[in-house]
Amino acid sequence: MHTVGGKNLTREELEEVNKWLQQNSISTQRLRREFSDVLPLAEIFKRDYPRMVDLYNYPKKSSVQLKLANWETFNFKVLSKFNMTLTKDFMEKMANGVSGAAEVLLHEVLRLEKRQRLAEQRNAAMRQEHLWKENDEVKTVVVNKQVGDGIVQVPQKMILYSLYEKMARDSQAKDVIIDTYQQRITHMESIIKIKTERIDELLMQMGKQPQKRATSNASNCFFAYDGKDSLTQKDICSTQVSSPTDPDSSTT
């Protein structure tokens, strides 16, 4: 419960109160006298919260004691519902028209209006988010957009901010996984390149050696890979000799 008592307003707070009075067409010349009775304040609350204020409960009074009674009634029936209360001493200052008391009270009313607006915006956002959760995650809303010198309404798709945050986190996690696999792919490509080059070298050696042996003798020799990046010639060779009398016979 916020308690309102006597305090001194800063220059900025006074300027804020005077600006609010001008916006609401309230004269500052007779402010102490007008707000010594609760009726002007009750009318302000009736305008903003019509269901919470009954002006018949606050008839205009002239004596200080009756004005104080009105303040006590308003304090109990209305202000307490907004989690705000006036001290006994402060209500007496208001009823007696003490200088500066009305400005302090109106500044508290300003703060109350700000809190109510923030609460309404927060509740509206929560209701909208709840509505979206019950229906779809993507909604189409109409927004004002400036086109040239004019303002036009255009549809725009929107999603919940909580959904956006979740998607952003998921995207970052996937980026990490993709980067890891990309590094593995690069490593495997490097290994494959080295292996391919070595295979090409071995194929070149295998292609040259048989051609060179074929020019020196007629034997068929076999080459084997020794596992140490070189080819060694086996000592086992075979030579085919065709028999002049029997084409099907051969000697090893």
80 and 166: one domain? no
115 and 19: one domain? yes
Q: Which two tokens stand for residue 249?
A: 């016979």
* pLDDT tens, residue by residue, 60-89: 888 888 989 989 988 888 888 888 888 888
* pLDDT tens, residue by residue, 192-201: 999 988 888 8
191-208 burial, b at 16+ Cβ within 10 Å, e below that, comes to eeeeeeeeeeeeeeeeee
* pLDDT tens, residue by residue, 127-138: 766 665 555 666
Asked if the structure places residue 78 within a domain, the reply is yes
Helix (H, G, I), strand (E, B) or coil at 111: helix
Q: Work out how many domains the chain is built from and give that number.
A: 2
Domain range for 17 is 2-129
Does the pTM surpass 0.75? The reply is: no
Tell me what pLDDT residue 233 has. 44
| Average of per-residue pLDDT values in the chain | 75
Say how far apart CA 94 and CA 97 lie, in whole Å.
Answer: 5
| Beta bridge mates, 140 | 157
Tell me what pLDDT residue 213 has. 40
116 and 187: one domain? no
Tell me what pLDDT residue 177 has. 92
